[in-house]
């Protein structure tokens, strides 16, 4: 349960103001069909995070727990620092194709936008640290949905009320604490 809850919280916070959250807003504004967008986000996230979590578990098996503790500690601290750098949506991400339909456009755009993103890197690290992997993927996917689905439905109203900078600072502190705990071997 710890892996699920921690994965959910970390990814939900990390996703605030992230480029994929901005992509959610762009897709919602462009297509005005929230349900196919939400389903596309879900499918893309499940695929992307299952691959990322499996990669993390594989890396853990290859290098062992002692080296991995240091890799995770440094990675979580780096993620905390990365949280302090605001994301922006690239022009390529903001122009989804109409000929694929809303669901496929969202799925493809989200899958690609998530590659190398903060939340994907966090999923790799969480997949390396926690088992069962299904709890990590379910948690990170729920975190993505908690952060993105409301934007699809209520985007403009939310972006005017949520202080993204404060959310980023909280997420940065959480990642830094997790990194220090991993370096100290707490929970290992």
The shares of helix, strand and coil residues in the chain, as percent rounded to the nearest 5, are 80, 0, 20
C-alpha to C-alpha distance for 81 and 173, rounded to whole angstroms: 9
Which of these, 49, 47, 73, lies nearest to 129 by C-alpha position?
73
Provide the angle, in degrees to the nearest 10, between the axes of the packed helices 34-63 and 65-83.
140
| pLDDT tens sequence across 131-188 | 899 999 999 999 999 999 998 998 766 656 766 677 667 767 877 887 888 788 875 5
Q: 40 preceded by cis ω (within 30°)?
A: no
Question: What is the pLDDT at residue 91?
Answer: 47
15 versus 146: the higher-pLDDT residue is: 146
C-alpha to C-alpha distance for 155 and 140, rounded to whole angstroms: 21
Least confident of 29-33, 108-112, 162-166: 162-166
142 versus 129: the higher-pLDDT residue is: 142
| pLDDT tens sequence across 43-101 | 999 999 999 999 999 988 898 888 878 887 888 788 778 767 765 655 454 454 556 68
Please tell me what DSSP assigns to residue 88.
-
Other beta carbons within 10 angstroms of residue 175's beta carbon come to 25
Question: What is the pLDDT at residue 50?
Answer: 97
Secondary structure in 3-state letters for 4-30: HHHHHHHHHHHHCCCHHHHHHHHHHHH
Question: What is the pLDDT at residue 12?
Answer: 93
Please tell me what DSSP assigns to residue 91.
T
C-alpha to C-alpha distance for 121 and 22, rounded to whole angstroms: 18
C-alpha to C-alpha distance for 117 and 121, rounded to whole angstroms: 6
Question: What is the pLDDT at residue 94?
Answer: 45
């Amino acid at each position: 349960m710890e892996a699920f809850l921690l994965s959910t919280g970390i990814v939900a916070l990390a996703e605030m103001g992230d480029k994929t959250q901005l992509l959610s807003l762009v897709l919602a504004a462009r297509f005005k069909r929230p349900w196919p967008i939400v389903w596309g986000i879900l499918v893309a996230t499940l695929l992307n995070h299952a691959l990322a979590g499996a990669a993390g578990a594989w890396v853990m098996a290859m290098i062992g727990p002692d080296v991995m503790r240091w890799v995770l500690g440094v990675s979580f601290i780096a993620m905390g620092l990365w949280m302090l750098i605001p994301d922006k949506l690239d022009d390529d991400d903001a122009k989804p194709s109409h000929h694929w339909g809303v669901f496929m456009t969202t799925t493809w755009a989200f899958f690609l936008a998530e590659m190398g993103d903060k939340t994907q890197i966090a999923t790799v690290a969480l997949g390396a640290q926690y088992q069962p992997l299904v709890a990590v993927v379910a948690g990170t996917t729920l975190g993505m949905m908690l952060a993105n689905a409301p934007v699809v439905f209520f985007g403009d109203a939310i972006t005017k009320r949520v202080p993204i900078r404060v959310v980023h600072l909280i997420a940065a502190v959480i990642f830094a604490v997790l990194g220090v705990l991993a370096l100290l071997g707490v929970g290992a």
